[in-house]
Amino acid sequence: MSDDNVPQAAAWLEEYGDYLFSFALLKVKDIHRAEDLVQETLLAAITAEKTFSNQSSIRTWLTGILKHKIIDHFRRQDKEVMIGDLIDPDDTDNLDKFFTTNGKWIDRPVAFISPESAIQQTEFLEVFQQCVANLKPKQAEVFLAKEIHGMSSEEICKDLTLSPTNVWVLMHRARLALSNCLKNHWVD
């Protein structure tokens, strides 16, 4: 282990800590557990820095370590979690549950009745977080990075080795699923 890596890890905490934390929180649903997982991830990153390949971005590499920490966490709780629950490379979800074969809405969108000020409410944030957590893994990852942590599409393409088309398809599916989830679970 190199001591020089500690200031490095502190910089990673500053840069990627919020992303890693929110990613973990979506999965483990416990703030303190999620904080611990970020800490464990960075501690592991200090010692494992030599496994970092320059082909992946730091964020992707750290997220990879975090995913394994999350799996360990569930194993300790005797919950069976497959890596597939955290990563779904082909994201088989399609748009058939939203549209008929001739492209009409199956479940027509309705206007949200609550004013936009509702997004300030803690109750709303909890539902919103739950709805993001319910997304397919890859959709959740892209949505979290792009919409919540403000990363650019270019960055996301590079980090997750996705084409721009992949990203907007994932974003569109995420938005359809979120609008459905908010409609069903957020009664204000």
Partner 1 sequence: MLNCKEASQLASRAQDEELQFWQKMALKLHLLLCRSCAHFTQQLNFIRKASLHAGKHHHFRLTTEAKQQILQALKKKQSS
Distance between CA 182 and CA 112 in Å, rounded? Answer: 9
63: which 2 tokens?
């997220």
To partner 1, the closest distance from the beta carbon of 55 in angstroms equals 26
Cα 14 to the center of its chain, rounded Å: 18
Residues 6+ apart with CB under 8 A from 108: none
To partner 1, the closest distance from the beta carbon of 167 in angstroms equals 8
Q: Give the residue carrying structure tokens 């992707």.
A: 60
To partner 1, the closest distance from the beta carbon of 148 in angstroms equals 4
Residue closer to partner 1, measured from CB, 23 or 61: 23
To partner 1, the closest distance from the beta carbon of 52 in angstroms equals 17
Q: Give the residue carrying structure tokens 């970020």.
A: 38
52: which 2 tokens?
């970092």
Which candidate, 13, 9, 17, 15, places its Cα nearest to that of 46? 9
Residue closer to partner 1, measured from CB, 61 or 143: 143
Provide the binding-site residues for partner 1, judged by CB under 8 A: 3, 6, 9-10, 13-14, 17-18, 21-22, 25, 31, 35, 38-39, 42-43, 46, 95, 98-99, 102-105, 108-112, 116, 119-120, 124-126, 128-129, 143-144, 147-150, 153, 168, 171-172, 175-176, 178-179, 182
Residue closer to partner 1, measured from CB, 32 or 78: 32
Distance between CA 158 and CA 55 in Å, rounded? Answer: 10
Residue closer to partner 1, measured from CB, 10 or 83: 10
Residue closer to partner 1, measured from CB, 82 or 106: 106
Q: 3-state class of 176 per DSSP? A: helix
